[in-house]
Structure 1
Amino acid sequence: MAVGVPENEVFAAADAVLARGERPTVERVRLELGRGSPARVGGLLDQWWASLAERLSSETRLPTLPAGVSQAFVAVWQQAIHLAQAVAEQGLSEQRQVVTAERERVAVVEDQARQDAALARQHAMVAQAAQQVSETRLADLEALLEQRATQILDLQQQRDSLLRERGDGQQHSQTLHQELNDLRRKAEQERVAQEIYVRGVEDRAHREVDRAREESKHMTAQVKEAGYQLEHLQQRLEGAQDALGQALQNAAAQLARGDTLEQQLVQLRSLPVSERKTRARKKPVPSPAK
C-alpha cells in the first residue's frame, strides 16, 4: 500500500471526480489516483473539501455581467455554495466515518498483531524450554548408555573369566577322576594279586599237608622225622595264614583309601573352582602304597 501521496495529486483527482458530476469519496479518489492509502487520501480529502468552499466563495464577483443578471447569478451561486458546503459536510462526515472505521480496523489489526507476537514469543519460550529439557534428557541418556556399555563390558569380562575357571575346574576334575580310576584299578589289581597269592599259599599248604599225610602213612618207621616235618609244616602254615591276614589287611586298606579318595572327589566337586585350585595346590592327591 502506497504511503505519502502528494497533496496536489489528491486535490487534482478530487477535482476530476467532481467535474464528472460525482461526489468525491476516498474510494473514488483512490481509484482515480490508482494508489494511496485510505488514511492518507481521507486526510487530504478533508483539506480539499475545506478549500473547495474558499474557492467557491472567491468566485462571487462577476463585473462583466449586467447588475440584474449579476445579482441573480450571485444568488444562484450562493445557493450553490450552500448546497456544495452541505455536500462537502456530508462528504467530510462520511470520510470521517471511513477514516474512523479504518483506524479502528488498523487498531484491531495492530492489537491482533501484538497478541500474535506475544503468543509467538510464548510459543518460542515454551519451545526453548522443551529444547533445553530434551537436551538435558539426551545428555542423561547418553551418560546412561555409556554406563550400561561399561557394565556390559565388565559382565563380559567376568563371564570370560568364569568360563576359563570352569574349564580349568573341569580339566582338574577330569584329572582327579582319572587318578581315582587309576587308584581303583590298581587297588583291584593288588586285591586280585593278594587273592591269587593267598590261594597259592593255601594250595601249597594243602599239598604239603596231603604229602605229609601220605608220607606218614607210608613211613611209619620214621615217626619222629614225620613229626618234625609235620611241626615244620604247621609253622609254615601259620606263616602262610599270617601272610594271608596281612594281604587281607592290605586289600582292606587299599579299598578304604579308594573310598576316601572318592569322598574327597565328591567334596572337591561341591566346592567353588577357586577353592578347588587352592586345596589342590596345598594338598596333592597321595599316591597309593605299593
Structure 2
Amino acid sequence: MLDVSERNLERIFSVADHQLLSGARPEAEAIAAQLELSVDEAGAALERWWQALPGRVEINGRSTLKMPDVPEAITQSFMRIWQQAVQEAKSNMTQVRQKDVVGEEESRRLNEEALRQSQDVYQELESRHREQAVRLEEQRQIAKSLEAEINILRNSLENEANERKRAEQANVNLEHELTQLRKQYDDHRRSTEQRLSEEQHKSVEIQAKMDVEVRHYRGQLDKLRDETGRKESALSRENNDLHTQVARKDAKLDTQKSQIAALEQELANTKQELGGNNRSLAKANSDLLAETNKTKRLEAKVKELGEEIERLNQRVSSNAAEASRREATMRTQLKEKDDELTQTQTRVTALEKRLVTRDDEVRRLSAKL
C-alpha cells in the first residue's frame, strides 16, 4: 500500500467527511483534484478512511451522533438529515411491501390463469403432436411404397435395357448375316456371270467353227457340183466313147454322194450339237433366273428382317420413353412427398420447441407459485 503522510491523511479524511455530510460519496479523483495530490495517494488514503469510518462515526440510539473532529452543529444537522432519511426509507419500504403483497396476489392469479392456459395449450399441442406423428408414419409408409414401386420400375427399366441390348445384338448379328449373304450373292453372281460368259464364249467359238466347217463343206460341195457338171458335159460329149469311164465316174459319183451324205449327216450332228449348246445356254439362263429369284427372295427376307428390327427398335424406344416418363412421374411424386415430409418434420420440430418453451414457462410459473 502507498505510504501517505499524516498531514495529507488528515486533510483527505476532513475532505471525505465534508463530502459525506453534504450527501455525496467521496471519490478519490475529486479529493486528489481538490487537494492537488496524486490519485493513487488519495485512493490509498480514502481506502483507509472507509476502513476507519465505522469507528469514527457512531449513532447512539435515535438522537446521539458522535463524529470526532467534527463541530457539534454539523453533527446535529447530519443527525436530523439522517433521521429524515430513515423515516422516508421506512415509509417507502412500507409502501413497497404493500404493493408487493397486492402484486403477489395479482401475479399469483395471473400465474394460475397462465398455468391453466398453458396446460390447455399443452394438451392441444400434445394432441396435434400425436396427429402429426400418425401423419408422419403414414407419409413414411407412402414413401416406402413409392420406393418399392421405384425399385420395381428400375428393375423393369433394367430388363428393358437388357432386352434392348439383346435386340441390338440380334440386329448386329442379322446385319452381319446380311453382309455375308450379300457377299455370297455377289460371289455367286460373279461366278455365274463368269461361267455364263465362258459358256457363251465357247458357244460362239463352236458356232464359228461350225460355220467355218459348213462354209468349207459347202465350198467343197460347190466344187464337186461344178466338177460334176463339167464331167457330165464331158461325158455327154464322150458318152459313146467312154462308157467304161462313165461307170467309173458313176462309182466315183456314188462315193462322192456318200461323202456328201456323210457331210450332211455331220452337218445335222453339228446342228444337233448346236441345239444342245443352245439348250445348255437356256439351262444356264434358267439357272441364272433361279439365282436371281433366290437373290430377290433373300432381299425380301433382308427387308423383312430390317422392318422387324425397326419395329423392335421402335418398341424398345417406346418402352424406354414410357419407363422414363413413369420414373419421372414417380420421382416428382416422391419429391413432393419428401417436401411434405420435410415440412411436417419442420412443423413437428417447431411444435416440440413450443412444447419445450411451454414446459419451461410452466416450470417457471410453478417455481414462482
SS of structure 2 residue aligned to 1:106: helix
1:65 maps to 97
2:249 maps to 240
1:200 maps to 230
Residue identity in the other structure for 1:193: K
Trace 1:45-84 onto structure 2 (pairs within 5 A). Answer: 65=97, 70=101, 76-84=106-114
1:261 maps to 270
Which among 162, 165, 176 is matched to residue 135 of structure 1? 165
Instruction: Pick closer, same or farther for the CA change 1:66–1:257 going to 2, 3 Å.
Output: closer
Residue identity in the other structure for 2:277: L
Contact 1:180 1:261 in 2 (8 A): yes
Shift of 1:105: 3.5
Shift of 1:77: 4.6
What is the distance in 2 between the residues matched to 1:251 and 1:265? Answer: 20
1:103 maps to 133
Instruction: Pick closer, same or farther for the CA change 1:158–1:66 going to 2, 3 Å.
Output: closer
TM normalised by structure 2 equals 0.46
Task: Count residues with an aligned counterpart.
Answer: 191
Contact 1:194 1:248 in 2 (8 A): no
Which among 262, 266, 279 is matched to residue 270 of structure 1? 279
Shift of 1:251: 1.5
Shift of 1:151: 2.0
Contact 2:221 2:260 in 1 (8 A): yes
Q: Show structure 2 runs of 5+ residues with no match.
A: 1-93, 285-369
1:226 maps to none
What is the distance in 2 between the residues matched to 1:151 and 1:136? Answer: 22
Shift of 1:255: 1.0
What is the distance in 2 between the residues matched to 1:247 and 1:256? Answer: 14
Q: Answer yes or no: is 1:251 the counterpart of 2:281.
A: no
Which among 149, 153, 170 is matched to residue 179 of structure 2? 149
Instruction: Report Cα offsets for 1:31-62 as digits up to 9, x if no partner.
Output: xxxxxxxxxxxxxxxxxxxxxxxxxxxxxxx9
Residue identity in the other structure for 2:120: Q
Shift of 1:147: 2.0
What is the distance in 1 between the residues matched to 2:107 and 2:154? Answer: 67
Residue identity in the other structure for 1:99: H
Contact 2:235 2:246 in 1 (8 A): yes
Q: Answer yes or no: is 1:162 the counterpart of 2:192.
A: yes
SS of structure 2 residue aligned to 1:168: helix
Shift of 1:168: 0.5
What is the distance in 2 between the residues matched to 1:66 and 1:75? Answer: 11
Shift of 1:175: 0.6
Q: Show structure 1 runs of 5+ residues with no match.
A: 1-61, 213-229, 276-290
TM normalised by structure 1 equals 0.58
